[in-house]
Structure 1
Amino acid sequence: MNKIYKKLRQNTKGQYYLLSFCVFLSVLLVTSFSLMYFGPTVQDFLPEGGDTRKMAVLLLGVTAVGCFVFTVYAFGLFFRFKAREYGILMALGTEKKQLKKLLFQELSTVTALSSLVGLLISVPVSFLIWKLFELFIISNEQMTYRFGATGFLPGILFAFVLACVLGIAGRRFINRSDIMEILRTQQKTEMVKEIKGWTFPVGVVLTVLGLLLGASVKEVSARVFGIGLPGVVNLFYLLSLAGIYLILLSAVAQSRARKNRSKYYGNLVSISLMRFTAKATTKNMCVMTLLIFVCGFSAFYGMQYILAGGGVQTKNSKDFSLHYPVLEDQIGKKEIYDTASSYSIAVTDFTEHTATNLVVSYNAKDFDEETSRYIEVYRDKEMAAIFVSESDFEKISGQDITVAPGTYQTITTTDYNNFYEYEDGLQEVMNPDTEKTYPLTYGGTIENDVLAPFSEPFAYVVNDEAYREMTEGVQDAYKERVISFNAVNAEDSYDFARALLEQYVEHATDLSNHMGNWNIWAQKISDETGKEYGYGDRIHMTIDNNMLLGDWKYAPAFNIITVQDRMQLISVYVMLCLYIFIISLAAVSVMAYVRSISVVEDNKGLFESLTKLGADHRYKRNVLKKQIARIVQYPGIIGCVLTFVFAFIMNFMNDGRINSVETKALTLLTVMLVGMGIALYTIYKYSLYKAEKIVK
C-alpha cells in the first residue's frame, strides 16, 4: 500500500506542492506580521490601549482569517483530487482504517514541515520588510528592528488550528460511507434555473446604493438634520454585497439567444458550462471580488498615510514654533541661536511675541446622548482661548491684515474645514482678572499654522487698541510666549531640532506639565467648584517619551521632528496595510488558480466528448479560455471599480471635497489597480497554461 501511495503521490505531486505552499505562505505571513507587531520596537512605540493597537490587533485577525480562507480552499481542491483515488481503492476493498492512517501520515508530514519552514523563514522576512520601510522613514534608534519571541505564539497557534482543520476535513473525507458519492465528487452539477433580466440592473443599483448609504448617511444625517446615527447604519454596506452577488449571478448564469442567435449558439458550450455550476461559481467570484476590494483599499489606505505624512509645511507655517507660559524659565532667542550655531544652522525670520488667554463665550455644536442629535449650544465663559494683537500677528505670519474695531478674525489651519466648530461663533470676551466683558463681531478668517494649533477651539486676532484694552490688568499666569523661526537648511536640521527639543524638555516645569486638552480657565472653574477636571492629569515629560509631542499641551512644533514621529506612526500603519494587501492578493491568486483548475478537472470528460464529436484544438482552447477568463475577469473588474468608487466616496464625504492629497492618492490608486489587473492577467495566463496541460 505504501508503494501504491508513493506512485499516486508522484502522479499528483502538483497538488501536494500547492497544499504545502498554501500552508507555508499562510503561516509565514501570520507569523512575520505578529513578529513585527509584538516586537519590542512596535510595542514600545504604540501607546497602551490606543486606537493604533486596536487597529493592529484587528488587522492581525483579518490577516489570519484571510490566510485561513485561501488555505482551506486549497484543502478542498486537494481532497477533490484525492476523491477518485480513494473511491477506487475503497471499491477494491481497501479498509477505511488503512486509508485513514495513510492519509493522516502524509497530511501530518505536509502540515508540520510547511509550518516549520514558515515559522523559520518568518524571521528574515519580517526583518527584510522592516528594512524596506526604513527607506521611507527617518531611521533612528527608536525604530531599530528588535526581535520578540512572543510573535511566534500567534503563528504556532495558527499552524495548530490549520492542522486541526485539515485533520477534521480528512476525517470527514474518509468517513463518507457512500463510495459512489466519492467517485462522483468531481461530476456534481446544479439545477439550471432561469435568471431574470432584471437581475443585473437591480444588482448595480443595490451595489451603488449600499456604498452611498454606508459612506454618507451618517455624515448627511449629522450635517443636514443634526442627528447622530449609531454604527448599525454600516449594515447598509450589506446591500452592496447583495448587489455584487446579483451582478455576478447575472453574468455567470443569465444567457438568452436574444437578437444575435448565431453568436449565442456558437458559444453554447462555454455558456452552459458556467450555468451548470452557477451557484458555486458565483459564491467563489463574490469572495474573490471582496478580496480584491480589500487588497486595493488596504493599499490605498496605507498610501494616503504616506502622502499626508509630512509635518505642517505650508506658506502659513514655519519650520520651528513653540509656546510656553511666560512665567516659565524656558529657552529663548539666545539659547536658540547658540544651539543653531553649534550645528551650523542658519536661523531666519525669528519672531518672539506674547499672546494672552482670555475667557470666551461662543456658539458651538454638541452631541446630545439622549436624543442622538447634534444641538446648538452656547458655551458661556467655560474656557479660555489665545488672543494676539494685529501687529504681532503680522510679524509672526508675515501677512498684512486689517482688523476693524469691535471685530475679531479667527485663526485657522490651512484648508480648515470642520462642520462641528463655528469660525464665526465667538460672541464676547472676558478679562479673567478684571472680569470685564467685551462684545465682538466676526470679521473674517485668517490661516496660520503657527498659532492655530496652540488654542481650542480657535486662536483669535483683534486690533492693537482692543488687545491693549482687553488684556489690561491680566496677570502673567494667563500669558504665553510664542516663538517661531525658519532654518535656511531645514532638511539638515534634525540634529539641531533634537538638541533644541532636549533643552526645551529639560527647562519645562510644572507650569507647563499639562495634557494636550488642558485649559487654564476650565481648570480654575473646576478647582473653585470642587469638581474633578477631566484633563487635569500630568504627563510624563522626558525626551524618551515618544508620545510626548502628541500628548503635551505645550509641545513645540518642529517640522523635521514632526515628520519623523509621524512617519514612525505611518510606518506601522503602512506595514499593517501592506500585509493585508499581500495576503488578499495571495488569497485571490490561489482562489483564481484553484477554481480554474477545478473547472478543468470537473469537465475533462466533456472535452473528451468534444474531441470525439470532431472539435479541433482551437475550438476547445477557446471554450477553456472563456471559462477561465470569466473566473478572473468578472471579479477583477467589479473589485477594482468597487475599490475606486468607495475610495472616492469616502474621501469626498470627509469634508465635502477632494483635496490635493486625496487627488494624488486616487491617481496612484488608479495606477495600482491597473497593476493589480496585470497581476490578475498573469494568474489567468498561468491557470490557462496548466489547464491546457490537464485536458491535453
Structure 2
Amino acid sequence: ARKTEMVQEIRPWTGKLGAFLVIMGLFLAMAVPQISARLFKQGMPGIWNVTYLLCVAGLYLLMLSSVARARKGKHPEKYYKNIISTNLMRFTARQTTRNMCVIALLVFVVVVSAFWGVMYYYSATEGGREAPYDYSMHYPAKERQISREETMRLAEAHGVNITSYEELESLQLLIRYTGRDMDDNRRYFDVEYEKPASFISASDFARISGHPVLLAEGEYKTVTTTGYSETIWVSADCLNAIEHPLTKESISPVFGGTVEFDNLAIGSDPFAFVLSDEDYQRFSDGLTEEQKEKHVFFNVEHVMETYDFADEWKKAYVNRATDLSDQYEPFSKVLMQAGAMELVAVFVLLSLYIAVISLAAAGIMSYVRSVTIAMDNRQLFEDLKKLGADNAYEESVMKVQLRKIFVYPVAAGCMVTGIFSLFLTWFNDMNLQIFEVKMLLMELFLMALIAGILYGVYRLAYRRTKQIVGIAPRTM
C-alpha cells in the first residue's frame, strides 16, 4: 500500500522566514545576554534560553521549504520537465522534513563537538606560547630561592642552553580598584576591592621587554596578556588609588594604557602595573623585603625539549617556597602546555567521541531515509518505465531526491554551526582574536571533511536505491 499525506501549499516566504528565525533565534539566545550585561549590567534569566527554540522552528521551515516548495518561476518549461523529481517528496513532506531536521541537528552536533575538541587541544598547545620568556618565576623578596648560578648548573646538567637571563624587583603596594559582581537577580554592580598588587618601574619594564615605556608622574600602565580583551568583571583602567603599605601615602593614578607581557600578567590578580621611575622610587622608600618581590626571566634553546629540566627546576623552586599560592606559580612554556593537555585530554576525547557518534547517526539516518524513499516509490519508478522513461531519466529523479536528503540538512547544519560559532566568539568579548579566527577557519575545514564523509554515504545510498527501484546499471 502507498502511504501519502495531504499535499498542502507551501507559501513562498516559508524558506525566508525559516532563515530569519534561525538567525534571530541564535542572536536572541547568544547576543542579547552579552549586550544586556555590558550595556545595562543585567544578566538574562535562565528562561531566556527558550529563544533557541526559534532557531529549531526556523530550521524546520527551511527543511519544509526545500522538500515541499516548488514553483514555476521564469522558466515554466523547466518546471514541467522536472515536475516528478521536484514534487515527489511533497507526498511525504512532513515525515521527510522531520528526518532532515534531525540530520541537520546531528550535523550541528558533529561540527560543534569536533570544533570544541580541536579548540581545547589548540588552547592547550598554544597556552603561554606568546610569552616573551620561556621560563619565569616571582616570589617574596625575603625568600631564598634558587639562584642564577644554581639554575645555570641545573641547565648544564640537563644539556639545556640558557640564552638570556634577567632579574628585577617589584613592589607590593595596596590598591583600591573597581570590579564587578552579580547579585541573585543576575544584576551586575560595581564593587571597590582592596588588595596588594605588583608594581614595577618603567625602566625595568623597558629592560626586560625591549620596549620603552613613557610615563609621567601619577600615571600607570596595566600589564596584560597578548591579545587581551576586556571582561565584564574588571577593566584595565580599574585603579582608583595606590597606597604605600607603611606610610599610608596614596595617589589617585591616571590610566596611561596597557602593555603586553605574559610572564608578568599570568598569575597577577587583577593585573600587574607599571609606574614611572619617580613614583616607583617614592613608593619604594621605607619598604622592607616584606613588601617586595623578585622576578626571574630566562630563555632557552629548543624549549619544548626541556621538560626534564623544567620539572627539576620547578621542584627546586617548590622545595624552597614559603608561599605555595597560585600567585607564585612558576611559569614554564613546556610545563604549562603539558599540564594543560592533561587537564583538557578528557574534554578533547569526549568531544571527539560525541562527534564520531553523531556523524555515524547522521550517516545512518540519511542512508535509511534514502532507502525508505526508494522502497515507497518503487511502484512509481515501475510506472515511469511503462511510460517510456529511460534509465538516465530515472537516475536523475533519484539523484534529486537523495540530494535533498543529503545536501540540504548538511548545508543547514553547517550554516547554523557557522552562525553559532561566530556569535559565540564575537559576543563573548566583542572582539575576534587571532586565535579565534584560526578556530573559525579550522571549523570550515571540519565542515568540508564532514561533507566529504557524508558524500561517501550518499554514493552508497545512491547505488542501493538504484537496485531497489530496478534501475539497470549502465553498460559501457
Q: TM-score, length-normalised on structure 1? A: 0.65
Q: Distance in 2 between matches of 1:299 and 1:566?
A: 18
What percent of counterpart residues are identical?
A: 39
8 Å contact from structure 1 (residues 228, 373) kept in 2: yes
Residue aligning to 2:437: 663
- Describe the SS at the equivalent of 2:199: strand
| Preserved CA contact (<8 Å) 1:385 1:459 | yes
Please state how far the C-alpha of 1:426 moved relative to its aligned partner.
1.2
| Aligned-partner residue type, residue 446 of structure 1 | V
Q: How many residues align?
A: 468
Match of residue 349 from structure 1: 164
- Does the 8 A contact of 1:302 with 1:573 survive in 2? yes
Q: Does 2:206 correspond to 1:394?
A: yes
Q: Which residue of 2 aligns with 1:647?
A: 421
Return the letter of the residue paired with 2:206: E
- Once the two structures are TM-superposed, the CA of residue 570 in structure 1 deviates from its matched residue by 3.4
Q: What is residue 412 of structure 1 aligned with on the other side? A: 224
Quote how far apart the aligned CAs of 1:261 are: 2.6
Map 1:545-694; keep pairs closer than 5 Å.
552-694=326-468
- Alpha-carbon distance between aligned partners in 2 of 1:476 and 1:656, rounded to the nearest angstrom: 42
1:596, 1:691 within 8 Å by CA — same for their partners in 2? yes
CA distance in 1, matches of 2:216, 2:73: 74
Alpha carbons of structure 1 residues 454 and 694: separation in structure 2 relative to 1, 3 Å: closer
- The residue matched to 2:251 in structure 1 has which SS? strand
- Aligned position for 1:254: 69
SS in 1 for 2:236: coil
Distance 2:414 2:235 in 1: 39
In structure 1, what is the Cα distance between the partners aligned to 2:208 and 2:323? 22
In the other structure, the counterpart of 1:434 is 247
Q: Distance in 2 between matches of 1:256 and 1:350?
A: 74
Conservation of the 8 A alpha-carbon contact between 2:215 and 2:276: yes
Match of 2:197 in 1: 385
Structure-1 separation of matches of 2:109 and 2:450? 12
- Whether the 8 Å contact between 2:318 and 2:324 is mirrored in structure 1 is no
Query: In structure 2, the residue corresponding to 1:422 is in which secondary structure?
Result: strand
C-alpha distance in structure 2 between counterparts of 1:333 and 1:495, whole Å: 18
Letter in 2 for 1:311: G
1:512 pairs with one of 323, 346, 366 = 323
- 1:284 CA drift (Å): 0.1
Residue 325 of structure 1 pairs with residue 135 of structure 2: no
Distance 1:628 1:389 in 2: 69
In structure 1, distance between residues paired with 2:209 and 2:46: 42
Cα distance, 1:320 vs structure 2:
0.3
CA contact (8 A) 1:358 1:429 kept: yes
**CA displacement at 1:313 relative to structure 2:** 2.5
2:126 aligned to which of 307, 310, 327: 310
Residue 474 of structure 2 is matched in structure 1 by none
Q: Does the 8 Å CA contact 2:268/2:327 hold for their aligned counterparts?
A: no
Unaligned runs of 5+ in 2: 471-476
Give the structure with the higher percent strand.
2
SS of aligned partner of 2:228:
coil
Q: Is 1:448 the equivalent of 2:264? A: no
**Cα deviation per residue 1:30-55 (whole Å; 9 max; x = unaligned)?**
xxxxxxxxxxxxxxxxxxxxxxxxxx
| Contact 2:267–2:329 (CA under 8 A) maintained in structure 1 | no
Q: 1:347 to 1:259 in 2, by over 3 A?
A: closer
Amino acid at match of 2:324: N
Question: 1:258 deviation in Å?
Answer: 4.3
Q: CA deviation at 1:427?
A: 2.3
User: Are the aligned partners of 1:310 and 1:567 in contact in 2 as well (CA < 8 Å)?
Assistant: no
Residues 229-271 of structure 1, C-alpha deviations (whole Å, 9 max, x = no match): 1333222221111001001111111224344332222222223
1:519-554 residue CA offsets vs partner (Å, 9 max, x unmatched): xxxxxxxxxxxxxxxxxxxxxxxxxxxxxxxxx331
Structure 1: unaligned runs, 5 residues or longer = 1-183, 515-551
Q: Which has the higher contact order (CA 8 A, sep 6+)?
A: 2
Equivalent in the alignment of 1:226? 41
**Cα distance per residue 1:108-131 (max 9 Å; x no partner):** xxxxxxxxxxxxxxxxxxxxxxxx
- Alpha-carbon distance in structure 2 between the residues aligned to 1:346 and 1:623: 69
- Shift in Å at residue 687 of structure 1? 0.5
Q: CA RMSD in A?
A: 1.8
Q: How far apart are the structure 1 equivalents of 2:64 and 2:157?
A: 71
What is the CA distance between 1:418 and its match in structure 2? 1.3
Residue deviations 1:577-609 (CA, integer Å, cap 9, x gap):
211111111011100100000011112222222
d(CA) in 2 for partners of 1:634 and 1:501?
55
Secondary structure of 1:513's aligned partner: coil
1:458 to 233, 251, 271: 271
Give the letter for the 1:453 counterpart: I
Deviation of 1:349 (Å): 2.4
1:662 CA displacement = 1.8
CA–CA distance in structure 2, aligned partners of residues 293 and 454 of structure 1:
37
Instruction: Tell me the amino acid that sits aligned with residue 429 of structure 1.
Output: I
Residue 489 in 1 paired to residue 302 in 2? yes
Between stretches 589-598 and 336-345, larger displacement belongs to 336-345
The letter of the residue matching 1:312 is G
TM-score computed with the length of structure 2 as normaliser:
0.93
1-side partners of 2:92 and 2:311: how far apart?
Answer: 64
> Do residues 474 (structure 1) and 287 (structure 2) align?
yes
| Equivalent in the alignment of 1:422 | 235
